[in-house]
Amino acid sequence: MKVHQSNFSIEGFSEAVAYEEIKSLATQHSLLDYYDLGSGYIPKLPYNLGNREHSLEEILTCNPSLISFSGDKLFGSVQAGIIAGRADLIATLKQNQLLRMLRVDKITLSLLEESIKAYLKEEWESIPTLWLLFRSIEELTQRALHVKEAVGQAYCDIMPSETYMGGGTLPNRKFPTIALHVKGKATVLERKFREKLVIGRIEEDKFLLDFRTILPHNEVLLIDIIKQIVG
Ligand X SMILES: *Cc1c(COP(=O)(O)O)cnc(C)c1O
If one asks whether residue 108 binds ligand X (CB under 6 A), the answer comes out as: no
87, 73 Cβ separation under 8 angstroms: no
Within positions 158 to 177, which residues make up the interface with ligand X, using CB under 6 A? Answer: 168
In the complex, minimum distance from the CB of residue 37 to ligand X, in angstroms, rounded to a whole number: 7
Q: What distance in Å separates the CA atoms of residue 163 and residue 31, rounded to the nearest whole number?
A: 41
Rounded to the nearest 10°, the torsion over CA 82, 86, 88, 90 is 0
Q: Which stretch in 3-11, 15-23, 50-58, 221-229 sits in contact with ligand X by CB under 6 A? A: 3-11
Q: Is 70 in the site for ligand X (CB under 6 A)?
A: yes
- Give the shortest CB-7-to-ligand X separation in angstroms: 7
From candidates 6, 108, 141, 213, binder to ligand X by CB under 6 A: 6
Of 33, 53, 72, 190, the residue at the interface with ligand X (CB under 6 A) is 72
Assess contact for 60 and 95: CB atoms under 8 A: no
| Interface with ligand X, residue 53, by CB under 6 A | no
Nearer to ligand X, 75 or 207 (CB): 75
Q: Which of 33, 38, 206, 230 binds ligand X (CB under 6 A)?
A: 38
Toward ligand X, which CB reaches closer, 36 or 224? 36
Alpha helices by DSSP H, 61-136: 87-95, 99-102, 106-120, 128-133
Question: Can you tell me the distance from the alpha carbon of 169 to that of 74, in angstroms, rounded to the nearest whole number?
Answer: 7
CB of 171 to ligand X, least distance (A): 10
Q: How many CA atoms lie within 13 A of 88 on its CB side?
A: 3
The answer to whether residues 58 and 69 touch, using CB atoms and an 8 Å cutoff, is no
User: Which residues in this chain contact ligand X in the complex, by CB under 6 A?
Assistant: 3-4, 6, 36, 38-39, 70, 72, 79, 81, 168
